[in-house]
Structure 1
Amino acid sequence: MTETWTRAQIGALGEQLAVDYLTSHGMQVLTRNWRCRYGELDVIATDPTAGDAVVFVEVKTRTSDRFGGVEQAVTPQKVRRLRRLAGLWLAAQDRRWSHVRIDVVGVRIGRTRTPEITHVRAVG
């Protein structure tokens, strides 16, 4: 039996795998899929190991290498957009953090039995 997954289902699975990975590494998720008129932030978390940092995590899920890896997925233009969205989210918060970071978690599904996860810290 072969299953066909939609892009949305693949993305949701990748995001859940990324959240599981982040929490297993000590991060605490504050919110997921935060949206405003300018776009969406996939995951917003805190990283207690990085001195009370708030981390904006872009999740990239791939089923093939056709579009490149995690490094190719987040262009300078994409980083600028993530910074803008992060600034908007931060401006709406009552709390302040000592550090702000943008990470990318790449999830590769299908090549091996276990999904491959790549975590790139501080991309912008």
Structure 2
Amino acid sequence: MSERISTQQRGDAAEALARQHLERHGLRLLAQNWRCRLGELDLVMLDADTVVFVEVRYRRYSAWGGAAESVDARKREKLCRAAQHFLQQQSRWAKYPCRFDVIAITADSQAPAQLDWIQNAFDT
């Protein structure tokens, strides 16, 4: 039996790890893998009175660039558009302040996963 794990399974596991971490820090899940024609939001959480759009990035090897650095200008723009659409569709959250966080997870076979939570990672 193969020990290989698909990219989708790794992504799902990374999102589950990120969600657990955020919930341990008091955030509450509003939506997970929320999709629209403009993109996808990995996690939408509520931190007290702030709606938090969380991008989860996983990298097996940091040598090819870190997980956090992979959230480039194009990805940030796509996240902003999807977040605006979310707030239009879920209007009860539109009155709350918002922020964008990144959870960067790096794991290789030699060490346990390293999770870096970057709050307010970028402005819109």
TM-score (norm 1): 0.89
Query: Is 1:41 the counterpart of 2:61 in the alignment?
Result: no
Measured in 2, the distance between the counterparts of 1:109 and 1:83 equals 27
Task: Compare 89-98 and 20-29 and name the one that shifted more.
Answer: 89-98
Q: Deviations over 1:10-69 (max 9, x none)?
A: 000000000000001111111100001121110000011xxx100000000111114311
Percent identity over the alignment is 35
Measured in 2, the distance between the counterparts of 1:80 and 1:10 equals 25
On the 8 A contact 2:57/2:68 being kept in 1, the answer is no
Which of 84, 90, 93 is matched with 1:93 structurally?
Answer: 90
Unaligned stretches of 5+ in structure 2?
none
Moved over 4 A (4+): none
Letter aligned with residue 41 of structure 1: L
Measured in 1, the distance between the counterparts of 2:101 and 2:87 equals 16
Unaligned stretches of 5+ in structure 1?
none
Considering fraction of residues, name the structure with more strand: 2
CA RMSD of aligned residues (A): 1.6
Secondary structure of the corresponding residue to residue 78 of structure 1 = helix
Letter aligned with residue 98 of structure 2: V
Letter aligned with residue 67 of structure 1: W
Aligned length: 120
TM-score (norm 2): 0.89
